C-alpha cells in the first residue's frame, strides 16, 4: 500500500520590539543572565501587565501579509503549567480568541504552486532559558535565566496541508522571508528567534481521514526539520506496513543520529486550564487601525517577485530565488543599478555567489563581496579587461579577500591579453611544438582545433582573449 504524509507546522517567531510584551524590560539578546527582569515578567504579586502596542501592531502586520482575517475582538488567556522557565506558573497566550485567522502562504515546489492555509496567529510571551550541567550525577541542578521571559512571540499554526518534507521546508522559508520583509523578526533558527514544531501523520493514498500523529520538536535548522520529517514519515509507514500502530506522542529530533526519539514517560498529559487573563483587557482592533497598518506594509516577497519579472525581464525561477530574502533582493537591485544587465547579475549571484555562501553557511548580508565589487568585476568582463574564465578566479579572490576586482586583476597580472602580436607569438610556439596535430588538422581533422586553442590558452596562462585566439589561430592554420 502507498502512504502519503500529512504535515502541519507550528512556528514561534520572536517579535523585534525593544521592550517585552507586558513590561518595559529590554529584549536585547546576550546580556548577563537575569539582568532584564522586573516584578511583571517574574510574576510578583501585585504587579500588572500592560500590552506593548508595537507587538500588537507587528502581529497584525503578519496577519495581513499572510492574508488572514484580523479578529475584531481578541483576548489574552492564561495557559497554566509548571516548569521552571515560567516564573508565574502560567504563560500568557491567546486561546479562544486569537488575533488573526484563516490566511494562507503560497509556496512553489518543483514548479508547482500550492497554498498552505494559516489556521491562526496568536500572541504570547516567551519563557526563560534553562541550562543544565553535563551529568545529573555531577550537577543535580538546572539554572534559570529569565531575560527572555516575556519577550513577545507570535505563534503561526498552519493547516494540515503540507505533503512532503520539501514542502515543509519551502513553507518555512517563505514564512521566514515574510517575517524578515516585514522587519518584525530576525528569523534565525539557530539563535531560536524562529522555532518550529511539526505534527506529522501518514495515511493510505486516497484515504480522507488522518492517521495518528506525532509531534516533533527540537529541530533548530531548516535542514533538521526536513530530516526529522523524512525519518518520522519512514518510521510511521514501516510501523503500519508491519501491522503495528503509531502512538500519539511527542518525539525529539536528535541531530547526531538523524532520528526522532520518543519523550515517553517524561511528559504527563497536559491540562492547561486556559482562562481569560483578568489582568489584561481585551483587544478591539478596528478597521481604521488595520487599514493604517496595511497602508504601511512594505513590498512583500510575492509582489517583489512579480516586479522583478516585469522590470528586469528575468525568468520566474530567478526571481523566486532572488526574492527569497530581503537581503538577497537588495543585493541584486544594488548590483543591477551599477551594472544594468539583470540576467548577467542574476546568473553570477545564483551560480557563483550562492555556491560560495552555501559552502561557508553564510547569509548574503555577510558576503565579503559587496554589490559594488560584483558590479566592478562585471564591468571588467564587459570591457574586455578580463575573460569570463579568469573572472571566476577573480571572483574567488574577491570572495576570499574582500578586495575589488580591479585591484586583484592588476596585482595578479590577470589582465586579458588583447594584444594581437602577443597572441600570435603564442600561436607560433604551439604550431611549432605540435607539428603532428597541426598536420592532422590541415588534413581535415577539425576536432584538433579545440586542443590547439587549449594549448594557446595554456601558453598565455589563460589570459588571452578567447575570441582573438580563435580568429588568429584559424588564420594561421590556413597559411
Site residues for another protein per CB under 8 A: 17-19, 23-26, 32-39, 42, 50-56, 75, 80, 82-84, 130-133, 136, 139-146, 266, 271, 273, 276, 278, 281-285
> Which position has the grid cell 530581503?
326
Strands ordered across the beta sheet of 76-80:
90-94, 76-80, 275-276
Nearer to another protein, 19 or 416 (CB): 19
Q: Beta-carbon neighbour count of residue 271 at 10 Å?
A: 8
Nearer to another protein, 255 or 354 (CB): 255
Q: Residue 149 is placed in which grid cell?
A: 521571559
Closest CA to 73 of 99, 102, 101: 99
Smallest gap from residue 258 Cβ to another protein (A): 21
Q: What are phi and psi of 162, to 5 degrees?
A: -90, 135
With contact defined as beta carbons under 8 Å apart, do 229 and 5 qualify? yes
Nearer to another protein, 39 or 402 (CB): 39
Smallest gap from residue 60 Cβ to another protein (A): 12
Smallest gap from residue 42 Cβ to another protein (A): 6
Q: Residue 163 is placed in which grid cell?
A: 505533503
276: three-class secondary structure by DSSP: strand
200: three-class secondary structure by DSSP: strand
Q: How far, in Å, CA of 348 to CA of 408, rounded?
A: 18
Smallest gap from residue 86 Cβ to another protein (A): 11
User: CB burial class (10 A; 0-12, 13-18, 19+) of residue 386?
Assistant: buried
Q: Where are the alpha helices (DSSP H) in 164-286?
A: 165-181, 222-241
Smallest gap from residue 255 Cβ to another protein (A): 17
Nearer to another protein, 81 or 317 (CB): 81
Nearer to another protein, 83 or 317 (CB): 83
Q: Residue 280 is placed in which grid cell?
A: 489584561
Q: What are phi and psi of 336, to 5 degrees?
A: -65, -35
Smallest gap from residue 29 Cβ to another protein (A): 14
User: CB burial class (10 A; 0-12, 13-18, 19+) of residue 263?
Assistant: middle
Nearer to another protein, 30 or 388 (CB): 30
Nearer to another protein, 95 or 449 (CB): 95
Smallest gap from residue 24 Cβ to another protein (A): 3
Q: How far, in Å, CA of 11 to CA of 30, rounded?
A: 22
With contact defined as beta carbons under 8 Å apart, do 359 and 383 qualify? no
Smallest gap from residue 268 Cβ to another protein (A): 9
Smallest gap from residue 344 Cβ to another protein (A): 43
Q: How far, in Å, CA of 348 to CA of 316, rounded?
A: 16
Nearer to another protein, 252 or 415 (CB): 252
Nearer to another protein, 266 or 443 (CB): 266
Smallest gap from residue 175 Cβ to another protein (A): 23
Q: Residue 114 is placed in which grid cell?
A: 500550492
Nearer to another protein, 33 or 160 (CB): 33
Q: What are phi and psi of 443, to 5 degrees?
A: -80, -5
Amino acid at each position: 500500500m502507498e502512504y502519503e504524509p500529512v504535515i502541519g507546522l507550528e512556528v514561534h517567531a520572536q517579535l523585534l520590539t525593544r521592550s517585552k510584551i507586558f513590561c518595559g524590560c529590554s529584549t536585547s539578546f546576550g546580556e548577563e543572565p537575569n539582568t532584564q527582569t522586573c516584578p511583571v515578567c517574574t510574576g510578583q504579586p501585585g504587579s500588572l501587565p500592560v500590552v506593548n502596542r508595537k507587538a500588537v501592531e507587528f502581529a497584525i502586520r503578519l496577519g495581513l501579509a499572510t492574508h488572514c482575517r484580523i479578529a475584531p475582538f481578541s483576548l489574552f488567556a492564561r495557559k497554566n503549567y509548571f516548569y521552571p522557565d515560567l516564573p508565574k506558573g502560567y504563560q500568557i497566550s491567546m486561546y479562544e480568541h486569537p488575533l488573526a485567522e484563516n490566511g494562507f502562504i503560497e509556496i512553489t515546489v518543483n514548479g508547482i504552486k500550492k497554498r498552505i492555509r494559516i489556521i491562526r496567529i496568536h500572541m504570547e510571551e516567551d519563557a526563560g532559558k534553562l541550562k543544565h550541567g553535563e551529568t545529573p550525577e555531577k550537577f543535580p541542578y538546572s539554572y534559570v535565566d529569565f531575560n527572555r521571559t516575556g519577550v513577545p512571540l507570535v505563534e503561526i499554526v498552519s493547516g494540515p496541508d503540507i505533503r512532503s518534507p520539501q514542502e515543509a521546508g519551502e513553507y518555512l522559508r517563505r514564512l521566514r522571508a515574510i517575517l524578515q520583509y516585514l522587519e518584525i523578526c530576525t528569523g534565525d533558527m539557530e539563535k531560536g528567534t524562529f522555532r518550529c514544531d511539526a505534527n506529522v501523520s501518514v495515511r493510505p493514498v486516497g484515504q480522507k481521514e488522518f492517521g495518528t500523529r506525532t509531534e516533533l520538536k527540537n529541530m533548530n535548522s531548516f535542514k533538521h526539520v526536513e530530516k526529522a520529517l523524512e525519518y518520522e514519515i519512514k518510521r510511521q509507514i514501516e510501523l503500519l506496513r508491519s501491522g503495528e500502530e503509531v502512538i500519539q506522542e511527542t518525539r525529539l529530533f536528535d541531530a547526531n543520529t538523524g532520528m526522532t526519539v520518543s519523550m515517553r514517560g517524561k511528559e504527563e498529559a497536559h491540562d492547561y486550564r486556559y482562562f481569560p487573563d483578568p489582568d489584561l483587557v481585551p483587544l478591539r482592533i478596528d478597521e481604521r487601525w488595520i487599514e493604517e497598518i496595511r497602508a504601511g506594509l512594505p513590498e512583500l516577497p510575492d509582489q517583489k517577485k512579480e516586479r522583478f519579472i516585469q522590470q528586469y525581464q528575468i525568468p520566474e525561477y530567478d526571481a523566486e530565488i532572488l526574492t527569497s530574502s530581503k537581503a538577497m533582493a537588495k543585493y541584486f537591485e544594488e548590483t543591477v543599478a551599477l551594472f544594468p544587465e539583470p540576467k548577467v547579475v542574476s546568473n553570477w549571484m545564483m551560480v557563483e555567489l550562492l555556491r560560495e555562501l552555501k559552502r561557508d553557511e553564510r547569509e548574503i548580508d555577510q558576503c565579503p563581496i559587496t554589490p559594488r565589487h560584483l558590479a566592478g568585476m562585471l564591468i571588467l568582463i564587459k570591457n574586455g579587461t578580463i575573460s569570463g574564465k579568469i573572472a571566476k578566479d577573480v571572483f574567488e579572490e574577491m570572495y576570499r579577500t574582500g578586495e575589488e576586482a580591479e585591484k586583484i586583476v592588476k596585482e595578479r597580472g590577470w589582465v586579458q591579453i588583447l594584444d594581437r602580436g602577443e597572441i600570435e607569438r603564442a600561436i607560433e610556439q604551439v604550431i611549432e611544438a605540435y607539428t603532428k596535430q597541426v598536420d592532422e588538422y590541415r588534413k581535415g581533422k577539425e576536432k584538433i582545433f579545440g586542443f590547439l586553442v587549449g594549448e594557446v590558452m595554456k601558453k598565455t596562462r589563460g589570459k588571452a582573449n578567447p575570441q582573438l585566439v580563435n580568429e588568429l589561430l584559424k588564420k594561421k592554420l590556413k597559411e
